[in-house]
Structure 1
Amino acid sequence: MPDAVVVGAGPNGLVAANLLADRGWTVEVLETEDEPGGAVRSDRGVDPDHVSDLFSSFYPLTAASPVIRSLRLHEWGLRWSHAPAVVAHPLLDGRCAVLERDPERTAAGLESFAPGDGAAWQGLCDIWDRVGPDTLRALFTPFPPVRPGLRLAARLGAADGLRLARMALLPARRLGEETFTGDGGRLLLAGNALHADLSPETALGGGFGWLMCMLAQSVGFPVPAGGAGALTGALVRRLTERGGTVRCGRRVTEVVVRDGRARGVRTADGETVTAHRAVLADVSAPALYGGLVAWDHLPARLREDMRRFQWDLGTVKVDWVLDRPVPWSAEGPARAGTVHLADGVDELTRSAAQIARNLVPDRPFLVMGQMTTADPSRSPAGTESAWAYTHVPRPIAGDAGPDGITGAWTPDDGQRMADRMEGVVERYAPGFRAAVRARRVLTPPTLEAMDANLRDGAINGGTSAIHQQLVFRPAPAAGRPETPVRGLYLASASAHPGGGVHGAPGANAARAALRTSGASVSTLLAAGQRRLVRRR
């Protein structure tokens, strides 16, 4: 009988399992898919000579996360790799905003868009230098973040604290307009905000865009050398060395609840795995409440809360094998691991407005990854392993473009959408299509089939909009990992602080389980014996 059962071997589940094992708990992780990792996996499915990341690729939140840094994954083989530049946002007129690791170089580039914008960028960096570490601590701890919040208040004082709060709540468009005269800085803020399901006009977008830009300069947008799966591999090896177990191909269908407490789980083949202390669920909130846990065990109001739960947007992703680097027209993108493609903030708004009307955008905003540029081991010299993703509405009422994409995501829908995305790249890199040797199209249903947490292609476990963050995530007054069932903890991106590979939901759930259950003397002695045997 393990002390804890973790449902799901995504990054949050594996982080939670590692933290519990560090405290001497015996942990068993059950994963539906045939391999661990959730949305942190890679393969050679497009071409045997090219490594493709199936879902996520760049990991600034991972590199910055105090939780994951404390795991010292480099001791289990994880190595980071960086592109020469972090993010590039080219325009059709040949200009390009480039986010460099060096703030002074970034500022110098933005100065070319408008006099004074370099100093404005340095001003944003100065704010980060003052509050960055405590901001990250506040972000990655359970809500409310009392200690880091107090440190921020003491550091800033009331007036500056309110100014920082206002800046964090601004839409990306407004923060860009208040800060910069030219297009460059505005593009960097808005483009990074749209990594989530936030439009340039959505509250909180400015704060999120600023956070991502500052992380780009403090830790970069690193990638695991050899593929995203290397991050998962390090987490699994660390857990296994501490006595934890990961069992794949074991789909959990029920959390067993007796007398108001989680007692274990039941799998699709009828196996019951009993948990001595806790069950931690790295699954979406709608999959847990009313799914793995029957409504009979839950408050009536939670059923209505889950009816109102808002997923983030769907996603279409295309992986490409290129026989040469992308032939960019502008200078800058060739050095960047991540490239944003939209001809200005207005075009970002145009695409977001079409999505708001449930239309597939005719000129979709693309986030593009040049993986060999970021990690030369991903493909043979002189080639490129690349991808791009874009958001699509849920549901789809029609196509703003001429191709008749229905939203049923048949193979024809997927190919037409991939052609449209290639057309966007071709505008900024004439000759791109001629460089493509193979491609793979991942539509919303395909993404969900590969990872059930990516419901209809949602990649953040629920919207990043402010009405479903903090104390509202995943439901009002539910901003902590504890659930209405004793001994059951929500450990997925549906919990605060949300999406991104930073491990905070898993860590928060593990700490809550430890705080509630404690560790028995026998458990701690057994853990000490295991560590002694390993040293011998």
Structure 2
Amino acid sequence: MSRYDVDAVVVGAGPNGLVAAVTLAEAGWRVVVVEAQSEAGGALRTVESTLPGFRHDVGASNHPMAMASPAFRALGLESEGLAFAQTDVPLGHPIAPGRSGILRRSVAETAERFGDDEALWNRVMGFFAPRWRQLGRAIGDPLHPTPDLVALGATSVWPTPWVLRALRDERSRAVIAGLAAHSIVDLGQPATALVGVALGALAHGVGWPVAVGGSQAIADALVRRLLSRGGELVTGTRVSRIETLPRARAVLLDTSPRDALRIAGHLFDARTANALHRMRYGAAVHRVDWALDAPVPWTDPALADAGFVHLGGPADEVVRAERDVARGRMPDEPFLLLSQASRMDPTRAPEGKVAFGGYCHVPFGYDGDPVEAIEARIERFAPGFRDRILARHSMGPSALEALNPNLVGGAIDGGISDLRQLLARPRLALSPWATSAPDVFLCSASTVPGAGVHGMPGRLAAQAVLKQLR
């Protein structure tokens, strides 16, 4: 008789934990996933937070990495009913009322509206966009550098202001600055421009789609695959110590470093424990969702077709806002990342209505209320916006952390992804998913390659388990 109850236990049913579980289950392992909340998904939640019939994503809403990720491409979740929808205009970035930078799926159509930067945009994005599969592999597994990762680094492993100096058109400058701001660090840091170029290339290559029905649909598809492979999901069970889990050959923790230490820290040596203790967190987010009785009345009509809107003004204003947040100050003009998901997916709102929402970056653990500043900023670019609000729902850092403990201090990145901590997640090692306890592994966004709905920390952790324990 086996001395194990199951082959593997995964603690946490976020996208990385679920991908790890499915990867092991498809390798023939008996897997159980234990989740503290009443349903799986982690930050992949879609809820009717404003009014009945209006479905809002709590965490990520746009999913270019899910399209390009080797983990999701290998799983083929369309067979589980997962579908995506998008527009030919992934992104709009208002610079001033009536004037915007527009990023279209077509590289050429985007570049021709960027004036003096047309040739440069065509050259850079025209190289990377068709190579989105290779780009997805390179970003998803940076510990094994490829020629594409080297090329991306050589092009953009610089602070964003350095790259902005090479651009002359205010529209291309604003678009790159807004894309780079997804790094959630001071844009004066090295490698922030890499994020901007990579996200821009993916917008051209695969688009910025939304999951039909909401981001929760991605988690639901992963759960269906897990169950179809004989796996088990246990919800509503918070794990306090590893000894309370079923006996298993391997335990994978899709948790924050703080919770990993709480659950299994007594099994780790000093090096592993110190690495988890030292994980640094950057900016947090404050999320606001609105139920609207009509589309946002943008001054620039081109924004009506955009799936997502970076409301940040000129590039220098974006850089300034992100610098303030990184230094613990709430900017007067916050940079907003807004989703017009119901423009692409009509299931998100009742007919004729609009589910609109997004977030701004705020200092770590920020306890203020930026809703007035957020709405005033939208109103500037869309006069009459407030008149269309039927209801709103606001979640600051503490509320987000209460919903998902992995969002420590309201930070959505699992630990700041600056150059120092980009690969040292949680420590620099050939297998950062392994710990000093031979049967305990880490698989959250606090491990390589970091945040994003791509499932790669889960896939790589599961592969490490199979390699080490098989």
TM-score by length of 1: 0.84
Q: Verify: 1:181 aligned to 2:151, yes or no.
A: no
1:32-54 Cα shifts (integer Å, max 9, x gaps): 00010001111223111211112
- Give how far 1:165 is off: 2.8
- Give how far 1:232 is off: 1.1
Residues 320 and 387 in structure 1, CA contact (< 8 A), matched pair in contact too: yes
Match of 1:522 in 2: none
- Note the aligned Cα RMSD (angstroms): 1.8
**Change in 2 beyond 3 A, CA 1:479/1:347:** farther
1:349-374 Cα shifts (integer Å, max 9, x gaps): 22123223312111110001111112
1:107 aligns with one of 98, 106, 111:
111
Tell me how far apart the structure 1 counterparts of residues 63 and 152 of structure 2 sit (CA, whole Å).
25
- Written as runs of structure 1 = structure 2, the 5 A alignment for 1:82-481 is 82-110=86-114, 114-115=115-116, 117-128=117-128, 132-141=132-141, 144-145=143-144, 149=146, 152=148, 161=150, 164-178=152-166, 180-256=167-243, 266=244, 272-275=245-248, 277-288=249-260, 290-294=261-265, 296-394=266-364, 407=366, 409=367, 413-414=368-369, 417-470=370-423, 472-477=424-429, 480-481=432-433
1:75-101 Cα shifts (integer Å, max 9, x gaps): 110011103410000121522111111
Match of 1:24 in 2: 28
Tell me how far apart the structure 1 counterparts of residues 308 and 222 of structure 2 sit (CA, whole Å).
25
SS in 2 for 1:291: helix
SS in 1 for 2:342: helix
Matched residue type, 1:341? L
SS in 2 for 1:50: coil
Residues 83 and 375 in structure 1, CA contact (< 8 A), matched pair in contact too: no
Match of 1:60 in 2: 64
Match of 1:43 in 2: 47
Residues 425 and 446 in structure 2, CA contact (< 8 A), matched pair in contact too: yes
- Give how far 1:56 is off: 1.3
1:12 aligns with one of 13, 16, 21:
16
**Change in 2 beyond 3 A, CA 1:447/1:164:** closer
Residues 307 and 341 in structure 2, CA contact (< 8 A), matched pair in contact too: yes
- Give how far 1:131 is off: 5.5
Deviating more after overlay: 386-395 vs 229-238: 386-395
SS in 2 for 1:188: helix
Structure 1 segments unaligned to the other structure (5+ residues):
154-160, 257-265, 267-271, 396-406, 519-536
Residues 364 and 411 in structure 2, CA contact (< 8 A), matched pair in contact too: no
Tell me how far apart the structure 2 counterparts of residues 368 and 213 of structure 1 sit (CA, whole Å).
16
- Give how far 1:311 is off: 1.0
Aligned length: 466
Structure 2 segments unaligned to the other structure (5+ residues):
none
SS in 2 for 1:253: coil
Tell me how far apart the structure 2 counterparts of residues 383 and 10 of structure 1 sit (CA, whole Å).
30
- Written as runs of structure 1 = structure 2, the 5 A alignment for 1:472-511 is 472-477=424-429, 480-511=432-463
Matched residue type, 2:465? A
SS in 1 for 2:182: coil
Tell me how far apart the structure 2 counterparts of residues 428 and 108 of structure 1 sit (CA, whole Å).
24
SS in 1 for 2:406: coil
Residues 107 and 126 in structure 2, CA contact (< 8 A), matched pair in contact too: no
Asked which structure has the greater CA Rg, the reply is 1
1:74 aligns with one of 74, 78, 86:
78
Q: Verify: 1:513 aligned to 2:462, yes or no.
A: no
**Change in 2 beyond 3 A, CA 1:51/1:152:** closer
Q: Identity of counterpart residues, as a percentage? A: 37
Tell me how far apart the structure 2 counterparts of residues 47 and 93 of structure 1 sit (CA, whole Å).
30
Tell me how far apart the structure 2 counterparts of residues 499 and 127 of structure 1 sit (CA, whole Å).
25
Matched residue type, 2:71? V
**Change in 2 beyond 3 A, CA 1:243/1:301:** closer
Tell me how far apart the structure 2 counterparts of residues 478 and 299 of structure 1 sit (CA, whole Å).
17
Matched residue type, 2:438? R
Tell me how far apart the structure 2 counterparts of residues 46 and 420 of structure 1 sit (CA, whole Å).
19
Tell me how far apart the structure 1 counterparts of residues 432 and 276 of structure 2 sit (CA, whole Å).
16
Tell me how far apart the structure 2 counterparts of residues 45 and 170 of structure 1 sit (CA, whole Å).
39
SS in 1 for 2:301: coil
Tell me how far apart the structure 2 counterparts of residues 467 and 6 of structure 1 sit (CA, whole Å).
28
Residues 185 and 326 in structure 2, CA contact (< 8 A), matched pair in contact too: no
Tell me how far apart the structure 2 counterparts of residues 274 and 303 of structure 1 sit (CA, whole Å).
23
1:299-320 Cα shifts (integer Å, max 9, x gaps): 2244443343211311100010
Tell me how far apart the structure 2 counterparts of residues 479 and 169 of structure 1 sit (CA, whole Å).
24
Tell me how far apart the structure 2 counterparts of residues 168 and 183 of structure 1 sit (CA, whole Å).
19
**Change in 2 beyond 3 A, CA 1:302/1:512:** closer
1:299-351 Cα shifts (integer Å, max 9, x gaps): 22444433432113111000100000000011321111110111111111221
The runs of 4+ residues in structure 1 deviating greater than 4 Å are 129-132
Tell me how far apart the structure 2 counterparts of residues 94 and 505 of structure 1 sit (CA, whole Å).
41
Tell me how far apart the structure 1 counterparts of residues 421 and 222 of structure 2 sit (CA, whole Å).
29
**Change in 2 beyond 3 A, CA 1:477/1:19:** closer
Residues 473 and 479 in structure 1, CA contact (< 8 A), matched pair in contact too: no
Tell me how far apart the structure 1 counterparts of residues 398 and 468 of structure 2 sit (CA, whole Å).
38
